[in-house]
Amino acid sequence: MTSSQNSQQRRNSSMKRGKSAFLAVTAIIGLSAVLTGCGQGTTNPATSSPVTTSSAAAPSTAGTTPSSTPTPSSQSPSAPAETALCTAASLQGSLDDSGGGAAGSIYMKLIVKNTSGTTCILDGYPGVSLIKSGTITPIGEPAVRDPQAPSSGPISLAPDQSASAVLRYTQAGNYQNCTQMTADEVLVYPPSATDYLSIVHPLTACSNTDIALLQIGAFAP
């Protein structure tokens, strides 16, 4: 190979290397441009504005929605007190024996009057028995209730008003086995009351507990 040929070969090799280097630089520049373009199209999370979601909040029910139930007034009037049952302390008792009798019995009216300053309620049968003065121990059997004279309902007894119940007394002499004793008073317990009143009215009683001389009806106006 001649010297001119060698020179030409070296020039060709040098041009190839130069061309390869140029292509390599061009590729690097193009890749850099692509990467720069991608960087500009991507939002940086550290510097981007926060994303907010808009939604209508449900209206608060506390303090904004009127209540369907009215609030009771703190100054509402108090309920009236119930009328109390009549007690012996509020009553005065008496016996009216002018009603006559039949078949050895005497029919009397047991009368109670409201001597208190307030209305009270009588409802039902009183408890009645014969006693000696100064005691409350019944002589013989207390009065039995008359089923033919039941309560017709509560009685509102205003001050100074009276109510009565029919009391039947059977003569002690009608019973041959009666152990007779003289009773000085009639003891009366108002219906449902725990206190009592006594009415002076002497009667002959039987001390036998199996003999019922008294029969009482319920109070009526």
56-86: per-residue pLDDT in tens? Answer: 444 444 444 444 554 554 455 555 678 999 9
pLDDT of residue 129 exceeding 90, the answer is yes
Rounded-to-10 torsion of CA 91, 94, 95, 98: -120
pLDDT attached to residue 100: 76
Short-list 220, 95, 214, CA closest to 146: 214
CA 157, distance to chain mean position in Å, is 30
pLDDT of residue 142 exceeding 50, the answer is yes
Neighbours of 12 (CB within 10 A): 9
pLDDT of residue 191 exceeding 80, the answer is yes
Q: How confident is the model at residue 103 (pLDDT cuts 50, 70, 90)?
A: confident
CA distance 188 to 204: 17
pTM for the structure as a whole: 0.63
**% of the chain at pLDDT higher than 90:** 59
pLDDT attached to residue 101: 74
Return the exposure string of 136-148: e unless at least 16 CB atoms fall within 10 Å of the residue's CB, then b.
Answer: eebbbbbbebbee
**% of the chain at pLDDT higher than 70:** 64
pLDDT attached to residue 11: 57
